[in-house]
Amino acid sequence: MMDIEVKKQNKMPLLSRERVTGYVHFDGVTPSLVEVRKALAHKIKATEDNVVVRHLYGRYGMRRAKMIAHIYHDQAVLKHLEGTNLLKKNGFAVEAAKPAEAPAEAK
């Protein structure tokens, strides 16, 4: 069982996103970023593909964690602004960058 408590929502119009801060209350193990992302999207009625959980700060022995998440208005802006490692942790499929081929030496 997981419950999300939203404390603050800041609109950032220049970056076309909202920053959501709050707490995740849970029983047992700290939930993964993917689980928190799905629950937050359901709570604030946003599409799951536009939500990225930036940080989840848990404390030893506490059954709650502080959460910082971004809700984007556009999928392209999300992929442009967020790093690939964070997108992988949130369950997005990220294309691996292909290594550049070395130019052939002239003889």
Residue 77 has pLDDT above 90, yes or no: no
Instruction: Tell me whether residue 105 is exposed, middle or buried, using C-beta atoms within 10 angstroms of its C-beta: 0 to 12, 13 to 18, 19 or more.
Output: exposed
Residue 41 has pLDDT above 80, yes or no: yes
With a CB cutoff of 8 Å and minimum separation 6, the contacts of 98 are none
What domains can you pick out in the chain, each with its CATH number?
Answer: 2-73 (3.30.70.330)
More confident residue, 35 or 95: 35
Residue 100 confidence class, pLDDT cut points 50, 70, 90 = low
Residue 86 confidence class, pLDDT cut points 50, 70, 90 = confident
Which pLDDT score is estimated for 21? 96
Task: Considering only CA atoms, give the Rg of the chain.
Answer: 18
More confident residue, 45 or 102: 45
